[in-house]
Structures are given as C-alpha cells and as structure tokens.
Structure 1
Amino acid sequence: MQSLFITLGLLHLIALASPGPDFALILRTSLHRPTALGAAIGIALAILLHATFSLTGISLLIASHPWLFTLVRLVGALYLGWLGWGALRAAWQGGEADRLQAGGERGGLALGIRRGLATNLLNPKALLFFVGLLAAMVTPQVGSLTRGLLILELFLLSLAWFGLLAWCLSTPRAQRLLGRVQRPLNLVTGLLFGAVSLSILGGMAEQLI
C-alpha cells in the first residue's frame, strides 16, 4: 500500500506540473489573488470528484456509454472554447481593465471556484486520465478505506500544488511582471484553451465520419 501511495502521488504530481487548461486558468486569474486561489480550490475539488467517480465506477460507466461520453465531451469542448475566446478577446483589446480582470471578471473566490471546478470537471481528457490511471493501479483487492485515503491524497496534492502556484503568481512582484506580459499571456492561454477544445471536437468529428 505504501508503494501504491508513493507511485500514484508521483504520477499525479507529474500530471499536475504539465501545462494544460488548469495551469492556464491559474495564470489567467493570477492578477486577482482571491480569484486565483478560488480557481485552485475549484480544480482540486474537481479532481476529488474525478477520483471518486473513477474509484466508484461512475467515470467508467460514462466512458463506456458512447452517447453519454459524447455529451460530456461536447459540453467540455464548448466550455473550454468559450474560455479560450474570452482570453483571445482580452489579448486583442489589451485595455487596463482587461489586465486587471481575472478571467474576464473580478468576481473573487466564488467565481474562481466555479471556473476551476468547471474547467477541470468538464475536461474529458481529465476524466480519461483518472479512469486509466486508477483502473491500472487500484486493483479490486484494494479496500474502501485505502481507496478513500488515495482520493484524499490526490485532492490534497492538487490543492497544495495549485494553491502554491496561485499564491506565488499573485504576489506583487509576480503581478508586476505578469501585468507587463498580460496580452501575450492571454494570447497563449487562449490558444491553449482553443487547441484543447478543437482537439476534442476534431476527435468527435473523426468518430462520426
């Protein structure tokens, strides 16, 4: 069990450190610390749900039913595309208000939690990652207590990583730096969200064809 916790934790940390929509959302909201911290909490809560669903078989049920999984992929692709469009629009306008707004709005902790939760939870690639990772490593012989502790481990690692990232990127020094590069930053994050959205939609189109 100890090796399972260590291996799963290391693999999860590697996945967390990889650039993706979650990292882009923290970057985009980092000019407003409450929103950035809220986004970190929301992402960690979404990972908690993904891990719970995966270990209880709900995510596998979704992935094994084509119409249900297609619906999840479509909603997720459209949401990520909407976030990408907002970032690209902010990059194009480049006004002072846009540089100070977190993800298009200065809504504070609650807005950050909602966006973090939606960004990760509606990302079908995250769903597939947890289904594949946990199905491969957590055998049926693993008891319910150990499964609960594994879920808690993934949640705490996610909260610690994204919380630390949000805190560090929202310091005054980091804000001054990010404020000077906000337009290209919005452009990069917009392109990243858009690329993920288009890749999901492209995969769906290939399946239909």
Structure 2
Amino acid sequence: MDWGMVTAFMAVDLLLVCVPGADWAYVISAGLRGRSVLPAVSGLVVGYAVHTLLAVAGLAVLVAGSPGLLTALTAAGAGYLVWLGWGVLRRPGAPGAADEEYGESSRARVFLRGATISGLNPKGLLLYLSVLPQFLVAGGGHLPVATQTAVLGLLHMACCAAVYLTVGVLARAVLSARPAAARAVTRTSGAAMLGIGAFLLVQRLATL
C-alpha cells in the first residue's frame, strides 16, 4: 500500500470532517441534550461503517452508476435532516434537560438517528464515491483495491470519531453553565440540519 497516498488521504479527509455540516450539528445538539455524546458519535461512525462495507463490496460503484437510486438515497437523507432539524427547532432543550429520560431506549434512538444521518449523508456518499477512489493504487504489488478501500474507510471512521467526540464534549463543557447560549446553539444546529437538508433536497430534485 502506498503510505504517501494514505497520508494524503488523511489530510484531505481531516479537512472534510472538520468542515461543519449535518454531523457536527447533530453531535452538538445531542451533546447538549444528553449525558454523553458517545451514543450519537457511535451512531455516526456506524453509518460510515456501512458506507465502507458497501464500498469494499463494490456496491458503491453500482450506486454511482444508478442516478435513480442515488437520487432516492440523497432525497431520503435530505428529507430526514429536514425532519430532524425541525424537531430540534421546536424543542431545543437545555444542557441536561433530557438527563432524567436518557435511558437505554433514548440512547438507542440517539444512536440510530446518528447512523441514519451519516448513512444517508450526501457528503459521505461524495467521499466514498468520488474522493476515496482517487487514493487507491491498483497493481504494482500493492494490496488489493478492496483491502485498500477498507483501510481508508476505517481511517475515515477513526477521524470522525475523534473529531465528533471533541466537538460534542467541548460544546457541552463550554455551554453547560450557559443555558441561554446552549439553547441558541441548539437552535442553530437544528436550523443547520434543516437548511442543509432543504438545500440538498431542492438541488437533487432539480436534477430530475
């Protein structure tokens, strides 16, 4: 495996992960509403694990070659973001407001929401369909392309876990003693999810 290409991928990937988007908005919102950001971040990482498995199996190429399926997946993800963002705007909550109800079922919901957001995140589709293939090296004694895809996918998941845990923990630590600011940030996160979802939905439907 070309470790120079791996290093280049990590640099590009870190840049993409550090750009605020739907994942950031969700983990900040989840961090301010629950005891821990771990269920939210775990869900997001699992969503990208699904992307990785599909890419390794070669199914990502099939999705890229099927405009109808790609449109359906993007529209589903965008619609889900709109719904979730609207829910956060309606009930922004405050730090620790959900602590008493943050039981196993709530943790499971937070986890599943995270997995759905990243699993249908158009930015994730872009990474696995357009960016990641540019860092694969075929032949010349290198590892099989499927193995290289798995390695890069795992590195992306690790990067997401590190960045999103940091974002969620810092947001909660900084805003836990500032309820008004926390509600404002949560509303902003909800508006970001709603806005991103609406933009992607309109953009995708405009291509039909």
Cα distance between partner residues in 2 of 1:50 and 1:149: 13
Normalised by the length of structure 2, the TM-score is 0.83
Verify: 1:6 aligned to 2:7, yes or no: yes
Coordinate RMSD, CA, aligned: 2.2
Q: How far does the alpha carbon of each residue in 1:108-152 deviate from its partner, in whole angstroms, 9 at most, with x for none?
A: 532322121111111223212221111222133342443332222
Normalised by the length of structure 1, the TM-score is 0.83
Q: Relative to structure 1, is the Cα distance of residues 7 and 110 closer, same or farther in structure 2, using a 3 angstrom cutoff?
A: same
**Aligned residue type for 2:14:** L
Cα distance between partner residues in 2 of 1:193 and 1:57: 30
Map 1:1-209 to 2 at 5 A.
Answer: 1-31=2-32, 32-34=34-36, 36-91=37-92, 98-99=93-94, 100-101=96-97, 106-107=102-103, 108-141=106-139, 142-143=143-144, 144-171=146-173, 173-177=174-178, 179-208=179-208
Q: Relative to structure 1, is the Cα distance of residues 29 and 56 closer, same or farther in structure 2, using a 3 angstrom cutoff?
A: same
More moved, 4-13 vs 50-59: 50-59
Q: Relative to structure 1, is the Cα distance of residues 128 and 146 closer, same or farther in structure 2, using a 3 angstrom cutoff?
A: closer
Gaps of 5+ in 2: none
Give the superposition deviation at 1:159. Answer: 1.5
Give the superposition deviation at 1:101. Answer: 4.5
Q: How far does the alpha carbon of each residue in 1:8-52 deviate from its partner, in whole angstroms, 9 at most, with x for none?
A: 111111111111010001110112233x21111111121222233
> Are the equivalent residues in 1 in contact too, given 2:5–2:135 (CA < 8 A)?
yes
Higher share of residues assigned helix: 1
Displacement over 6 Å in runs of 4+: none
Aligned residue pairs: how many? Answer: 197
Gaps of 5+ in 1: 92-97
Cα distance between partner residues in 2 of 1:198 and 1:106: 29
